[in-house]
């Protein structure tokens, strides 16, 4: 079989790749559009961590290719350096240095000089984390504690408001992880990120495509009190199940005002088991801090009336294929996948393990809470009800 020659992509082709990557196309889709295999596209995108490199710009003071061609022509015509400089409106010393650094009078060629100048001009901007060992240590320590780059950046500014040494954006942290050529943060720290990714991926809209169950006497989200929507009052929760292999599930609950998380171990997805587990969780809280529950359209909540009778908590159901109506819960479920990856058996985790994970999430600072932790805010609500 004839071996396929290595393709060299043009700048325009690379630009198209980045455009399609940003739009949400997969590497396989991009490769098919170029009639190539996936690895040839992966090489381009992964060497920069999935982050589009900034477009290079020529300095306004630098010689251009037409100017270099004028120099080459002038040398061929045996013009003096002053004569060539006069034609270009440049200093004779500029012309002299250009010729000497590119082979001298006899060997000077415009195209080669242009390419050499372009290569010499590669001066990547130093990473902000370089030469800041204390900042690197602080970031590395928090990453190992499963903090997100955004949480770390917000916490650092809050802890050191007047010390710019510790001020860094979350984007800089991500770039230092995904672009390993920077050599600042170790590659193994990527294992502590929320999502198991080695490159930056574009934002995409994803919808859960679950089968819809017929839930008798269901109150829709439109019937939910307006006070729930603005998150100003605590006591309104969102809930769902995350699934694993062998029919295993975990019930997840998030309080809208504080983003406080509770997890419940369930033996099966049948409505009696789920409702019983939710009742048990509800009884751990003061009544003033558990007033409503918003759930998706899963059949596991067919027994919502039994739950409401036992707890005096009203259940509301989202519209079909509308996960954004439980945005806090959806976001939390994504974070939980760091601890409970897809394709694993969730039944092996004890309630004590679930409580430990919930505690870790609840003691992380959250940007939406002005970098206060859910636990601190929730405890303040508990104190105010006593």
Distances from the Cα of 157 to the Cαs of 103, 279, 373, in angstroms?
A: 52, 41, 15
What's the confidence (pLDDT) of residue 127? 74
For residue 268, give the H/E element and its range: none
- pLDDT given for residue 209 in this prediction: 41
Give per-10-residue mean pLDDT for the chain (386 aa). 62 84 80 77 77 76 90 92 92 92 91 86 71 89 89 92 90 80 72 70 48 71 87 93 91 95 93 94 91 90 92 91 87 92 92 95 93 94 82
Q: What pLDDT is recorded for position 1? A: 44
β-pairing, 236-243 vs 292-295, is parallel
Residue ranges of the domains in the chain? 11-46, 65-120, 133-192, 219-385
Are the beta carbons of 376 and 362 closer than 8 angstroms? no
Copy the structure tokens of residue 127: 């990473």
266, β-bridge pairs: 249
Instruction: Indicate yes or no: pTM above 0.75.
Output: no
Contacts of 129 (CB under 8 A, 6+ apart): 135, 136, 139, 168, 172, 176, 182, 184, 185
User: In CATH, which superfamily holds the domain spanning 219-385?
Assistant: Ribonuclease H-like superfamily/Ribonuclease H (3.30.420.10)
Give the H or E element holding residue 71: helix 65-76
Helix crossing, 110-120 with 65-76: angle to 10°? 140
Structure tokens belonging to residue 359: 């505690």
Q: Please state, in angstroms and rounded to a whole number, the distance separating the CA atoms of residues 82 and 61.
A: 19
Residue whose token pair is 């997805």: 269
What's the Cα-to-Cα distance from 246 to each of 43, 235, 243, 344, 345, rounded to whole Å?
A: 37, 34, 9, 9, 6
**Residue 239: per-residue pLDDT:** 95
Q: What is the predicted pLDDT for the residue at 253? A: 96
User: What is the structure's pLDDT at 195?
Assistant: 67
Show Cβ contacts of residue 167 under 8 Å, excluding neighbours closer than 6 positions: 156, 157, 160
Report the C-alpha gap between 343 and 341 in whole angstroms: 6
């Amino acid at each position: 079989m004839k071996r396929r020659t290595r393709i060299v992509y043009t700048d325009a082709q690379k630009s198209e790749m980045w455009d399609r990557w940003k739009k949400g196309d997969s590497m396989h889709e991009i490769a098919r559009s170029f009639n190539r295999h996936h690895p040839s596209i992966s090489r381009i995108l992964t060497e920069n961590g999935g982050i589009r490199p900034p477009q290079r710009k020529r300095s306004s003071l630098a010689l251009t290719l037409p100017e270099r061609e004028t120099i080459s022509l002038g040398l061929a015509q045996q013009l003096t350096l002053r004569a060539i400089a006069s034609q270009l409106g440049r200093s004779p010393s500029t012309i002299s240095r250009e010729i000497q650094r590119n082979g001298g009078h006899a060997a000077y060629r415009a195209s080669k000089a242009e390419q050499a100048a372009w290569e010499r001009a590669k001066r990547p901007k130093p990473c902000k984390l370089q030469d800041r060992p204390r900042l690197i240590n602080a970031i590395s320590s928090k990453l190992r504690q499963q903090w997100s780059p955004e949480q770390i950046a917000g916490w650092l500014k809050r802890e050191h408001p007047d010390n710019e040494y510790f001020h860094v954006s979350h984007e800089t942290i991500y770039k230092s992880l995904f672009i390993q050529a920077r050599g600042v943060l170790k590659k193994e720290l990527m294992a502590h990120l929320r999502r198991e990714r080695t490159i930056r991926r574009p934002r995409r809209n994803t919808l859960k495509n679950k089968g819809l169950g017929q839930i008798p006497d269901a109150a829709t989200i439109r019937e939910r009190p307006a006070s729930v929507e603005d998150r100003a009052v605590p006591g309104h929760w969102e809930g769902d199940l995350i699934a694993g292999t062998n029919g295993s599930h975990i019930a997840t609950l998030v309080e809208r005002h504080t983003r406080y998380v509770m997890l419940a171990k369930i033996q099966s997805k049948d409505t009696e088991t789920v409702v019983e587990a939710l009742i048990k969780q509800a009884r751990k809280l003061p009544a003033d801090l558990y007033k409503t529950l918003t759930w998706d359209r899963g059949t596991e909540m067919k027994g919502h009336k039994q739950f409401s009778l036992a707890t005096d908590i009203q259940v509301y159901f989202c519209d079909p294929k509308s996960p954004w109506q439980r945005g806090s819960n959806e976001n939390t479920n994504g974070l939980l996948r760091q601890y409970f990856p897809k394709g694993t058996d969730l039944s092996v985790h004890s309630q004590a393990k679930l409580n430990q994970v919930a505690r870790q999430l609840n003691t992380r600072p959250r940007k939406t809470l002005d970098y206060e932790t859910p636990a601190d805010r929730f405890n303040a609500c508990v104190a105010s009800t006593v």
